[in-house]
Structure 1
Amino acid sequence: MAEIGDLSLTMALFENFTIRRTWHEDRWFFSVVDIMAPLSGSPNPRRYWAELKKRMKEKEGLDVYASTIQALPMPTADGRRQKTDCADIEGVLRLIQSVPSPNAEPLKRWLAQIGAETLEEADADAYQLRTHHRLKLHYLDTDLMELVAFRGIITPEQRQALRDSNYAGLYGMAGEQELIQFRKLPMGGDLEEFMGTDEYIANEFQRSQAALVIKQRNIQGEAAIRAVAEDVGVQIRLTIERIGGMLPEDMPRYRRLARGEWMTPELLHSVSFNWNADEDAPEAVDRVIPIYELPEGAAELTLLEERHLITDGEAAPRERRKGT
């Protein structure tokens, strides 16, 4: 990638702070003065940086110009370009270690996101892998929702509650909306379209194992199903913590994947198709789902009831019990 000279492309936003950056030696370099603004909280980040350089040399024996900093042309407020102290991602992380700041961890996550986006843009295989796992997670989400539709989770509110439980255990948060706010995603956006491959895989494992436990144990009812989903996520999270891996909420946020990037043509058509009011509605389909129980000590399954899942083009299937 060549150096990007357009002013609008040499700016990045961290919260409400504008960070100048430039592409140099095949990686991004950031204006250190701009980084100091959110990191230090000082009203004069230029002076703070000057004092920090002296302190690092006196107390740590570190000459930043020999190890971390390069002077690179950066745009100024009047449209000119002048040499400015800059550091790449590794260098900025080194500086963050020397500044006690409540913004240290958010800045690290922000830098990780930029690094991930840069890697994806430069690696077509990484992009294809990400779109593959986005589609795979969609199918696992769909399979799980179809499975529990026969076991007590039918309404949109119940399905959303299950989605919250899927995220709650894995991310250690209350649910989807809290995670969207934590990630600073647009409200109403699709959380899963901002994930990276590693995060998709963690979610895929949670969905597939939750579905497996629900089937193997014949879990019934909203509360029991949600408890399983959350517990599976908790166990995955504990394993990640035990091996010292990166927790899902700390994984970088990626550029949003539009539906057309990861959906198959057939799937894209099915989710975007609206029934024309002048056309006949689709014929209703009544699917009979037998619910069995294996009593303790018994050799054969006992039929408890039959449930009917009726789909007729509505937003959600309707359930009808036997005899209704």
Structure 2
Amino acid sequence: MSKQEHQQQEPNRALIPSNDLPEVRRIWFENEWYYAVVDFIKIWTESTNAHDYWRKMKARADPELKKVIETRLKSFPMKADDNRRRQTETATRETLLRLVQSVPSKNAEKIRLWLAEVGNQRLEEIEQGQSEIEQLRETYRTKGYDEVWIEARIADLLARNEITTEWQERGAQDIHYPVLTNTLVERTFGFTIKSYKTYKGIAQSANLPDNMTPEELAFNILSKTTAKTYHETRESQGIEALRRDVIDAGDTTRAAREVIEQKTGVPIVSKKNAKDMRRLTSQREKKSLPPQSEKTLFDQ
């Protein structure tokens, strides 16, 4: 369900719950929160120019602190005050606690308490998310899908959540999501969502991904992750820029699909729908049962 070197972009503006502190940008990466260092510098020092303070702090750092700064900070594109994505130095809770020791401030204890609170909060979010995913697995099992398909569908849903979050942060509104999604599908598979449903022989009210094969779902995921990559690397803002990225992502994914189809001789786009896949699951279960004439371990 996770991409290699998975980087899950959370909303950059994370409201601090209880200490009446300003907003802090953060990103979830490799199972940890990374926080924008300059945002914390602003809190610690109450400086009117946190960026300048941070530059001077790095320049004057002792050898031990310099080693921490050089080896333990990571840069990610984050939305700045001008709504553009800019590379921003971030640190984990552990590293921030090390940095805060070097900043004389009456707010230091507030920071320590808040970091502990956020850590507990994230653990609760993870547990809740895992529970929801397991419920979703059980729902699809009840409908008759096999485990391979279920995992592909869950990965597709997670990719969907990531790309819609990305769209929202970059200026798209809810009314734009169907348009962007339809563009991705059409450029990737050669069908609009409406015509794709007709091709598969399902109702227009049906959910298209629920009627995709695992192979189709794989390219559905690839198109979304490629679009997300274009958004980030191009620092795109606004619906027109997002639509351009989506077109390019769909075209890139289509090219990959066509190469695989050419090499294998097997088309990715399929007329199979949910009924076919549930029937296939049933057939697999029957094949796994021993013939009636054979004895099983329980008969001996």
Task: Answer 1 or 2: which has greater strand percent.
Answer: 1
User: What TM-score, normalized to structure 2?
Assistant: 0.37
User: Which of the pair has the greater relative contact order for Cα pairs under 8 Å at 6+ separation?
Assistant: 2
Larger radius of gyration: 1
Task: Answer 1 or 2: which has greater helix percent.
Answer: 2
